[in-house]
């Protein structure tokens, strides 16, 4: 084992003690301690009042503007073998337990003397239950460094997390110096550093998961929008194609109707009789010109038919007149006109 135990910095003291078998480790929270009190000072105060300390987690307190203050908080883990029930039971009942750090021990008189009697007699530390127990780690300092290195590219986009990682790397450097024999206290211990990195990993993992979920949501929304736009485009294309097909069909029907003379009726007359159109040569037929010719020929045929019928009726009229005249003469009567039919001049 190294001369410095990062997991229990007081192991070299505690190894000389006769501890209870299967000792119970208690933990208390001290909200405010002047930062001049080192871990060694806290150890000796608790050793004099309760028992041996196994671990101390320090947290630097900040001022309102974010600067380091003259005070810190401490979470003290200890094996209480001096009146353990009295203190821990009182803390468990949320009673205000205060201790005076100016204990009358040789270590405190030598290293932390308090010449001001008023302060020496009135100064105290408030002990509260520790509701934020940080688990002990078994990882080495180098394993924690690998976790720090893995986080570097993941937090580069987040300024706050990047700054937090930088601070934790500073803690790692302190612990490395402690391991190399530096006598000063570190800002935090290896258990706290491991927990800090674990919390960062959890936050980064959540941020990445949230970013992926947001990207998936946006991608789905974009896909839905594109699908709708494509469906609308296809529907419009189909509608345009149908309209074009209908237009072509209508145009084709119009062309067929134009080619069939029976459907071209003028003045609500009956269709003109079909007359074959036989071009005199193989040139293309002008439909309008030929159709006019057909109508003219059909009209001429109709006029001839009317003339013939009129002439027939005129003959009948003459016959009737002659018969009437003969009858009048035989009966002694006068002449009566029976009917006046159309003449060819009226056509």
The DSSP result for 83-125, as a single string, is: SHHHHHHHHHTT--EEE-S----HHHHHHS----HHHHHH--E
pLDDT category of residue 259 using cuts at 50, 70 and 90 = low
Predicted pLDDT of residue 341: 46
User: Is residue 60 situated within a structural domain?
Assistant: yes
* CA–CA gap between residue 316 and residue 161 (Å, rounded): 125
- Looking at the fold, whether 58 and 117 belong to one and the same domain comes out as yes
* CA–CA gap between residue 333 and residue 9 (Å, rounded): 167
Specify the range with the lowest mean pLDDT, choosing from 35-39, 115-119, 211-215, 303-307: 303-307
| Residue given tokens 């000072």 in the structure block | 41
Least Cα distance to 192 among 30, 44, 6, 10 occurs for 6
- Domain count within the chain: 2
Structural domain containing residue 150: 136-240
- Looking at the fold, whether 128 and 173 belong to one and the same domain comes out as no
- Looking at the fold, whether 2 and 127 belong to one and the same domain comes out as yes
Write the pLDDT tens digit of every residue in 54-63: 999 999 999 9
Specify the range with the lowest mean pLDDT, choosing from 17-26, 166-175, 252-261: 252-261
Q: Domain boundary residue among 194, 220, 240?
A: 240
Question: Mean pLDDT throughout 160-179?
Answer: 96
pLDDT category of residue 287 using cuts at 50, 70 and 90 = low
| Paired tokens of 168 | 């934790």
What is the residue-wise DSSP string for 329-342?
Answer: HHHT----------
pLDDT category of residue 332 using cuts at 50, 70 and 90 = very low
User: Is residue 74 situated within a structural domain?
Assistant: yes
* CA–CA gap between residue 198 and residue 284 (Å, rounded): 94
Q: Domain boundary residue among 110, 133, 156?
A: 133
- Looking at the fold, whether 80 and 180 belong to one and the same domain comes out as no
Q: ∠ at Cα 291 (288, 295), nearest 5°?
A: 135
Expressed in angstroms, the distance from the first to the final Cα of the chain is: 141
Predicted pLDDT of residue 186: 93
- Looking at the fold, whether 77 and 145 belong to one and the same domain comes out as no
Residue 343, pLDDT > 80, answer no
User: Is residue 129 situated within a structural domain?
Assistant: yes
pTM: 0.63
Predicted pLDDT of residue 249: 82
User: Is residue 304 situated within a structural domain?
Assistant: no
| Residue given tokens 């987690």 in the structure block | 57
Predicted pLDDT of residue 264: 47
Question: Mean pLDDT throughout 252-271?
Answer: 58
Q: Domain boundary residue among 189, 216, 240?
A: 240
- Looking at the fold, whether 114 and 140 belong to one and the same domain comes out as no
Least Cα distance to 123 among 40, 41, 231 occurs for 41
What is the residue-wise DSSP string for 165-185?
Answer: HHHHHHHHHHHHHHHTT--SP
- Looking at the fold, whether 94 and 214 belong to one and the same domain comes out as no
Predicted pLDDT of residue 57: 97
| Residue given tokens 């208690």 in the structure block | 26
Specify the range with the lowest mean pLDDT, choosing from 36-45, 77-86, 199-208: 77-86
- Looking at the fold, whether 17 and 127 belong to one and the same domain comes out as yes
- Looking at the fold, whether 86 and 146 belong to one and the same domain comes out as no
pLDDT category of residue 243 using cuts at 50, 70 and 90 = confident
């Amino acid at each position: 084992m190294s001369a410095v135990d990062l997991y229990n910095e007081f192991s070299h003291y505690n190894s000389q003690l006769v501890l209870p078998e299967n000792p119970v480790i208690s933990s208390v929270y001290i909200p405010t301690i002047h930062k001049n009190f080192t871990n060694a000072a806290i150890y000796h105060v608790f050793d004099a009042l309760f028992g041996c300390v196994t671990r101390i987690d320090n947290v630097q307190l900040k001022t309102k503007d974010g600067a380091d203050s003259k005070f810190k908080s401490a979470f003290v883990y200890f094996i209480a073998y001096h009146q353990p029930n009295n203190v821990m039971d009182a803390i468990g009942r949320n009673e205000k337990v205060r201790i005076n750090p100016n204990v009358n021990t040789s270590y405190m008189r030598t290293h932390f003397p308090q010449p001001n009697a008023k302060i020496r007699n009135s100064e105290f530390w408030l002990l509260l239950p520790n509701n934020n127990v940080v688990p002990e780690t078994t990882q080495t300092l180098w394993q924690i460094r690998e976790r720090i290195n893995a986080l570097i590219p993941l937090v580069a986009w987040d300024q706050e997390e990047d700054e937090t990682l930088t601070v934790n790397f500073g803690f790692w450097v302190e612990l490395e110096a402690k391991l190399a024999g530096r006598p000063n206290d570190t800002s935090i211990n290896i258990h706290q550093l491991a927990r800090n990195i674990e919390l960062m990993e959890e936050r980064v993992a959540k941020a990445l998961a949230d970013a992926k979920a947001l990207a998936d949501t946006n991608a789905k929304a974009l896909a839905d929008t594109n699908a709708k736009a494509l469906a609308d485009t296809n529907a419009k294309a189909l509608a345009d194609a149908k309209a074009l097909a209908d237009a072509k069909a209508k145009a084709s029907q119009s062309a067929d109707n134009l080619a069939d003379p029976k459907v071209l009726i003028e003045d609500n007359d009956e269709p003109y009789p079909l007359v074959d159109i036989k071009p005199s040569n193989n040139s293309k037929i002008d439909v309008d010109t030929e159709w006019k010719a057909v109508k003219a020929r059909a009209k001429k045929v109709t006029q001839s038919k009317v003339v013939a019928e009129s002439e027939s009726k005129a003959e009948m009229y003459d016959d009737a007149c002659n018969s009437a005249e003969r009858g009048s003469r035989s009966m002694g009567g006068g002449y009566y006109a029976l009917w006046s039919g159309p003449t060819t001049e009226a056509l």
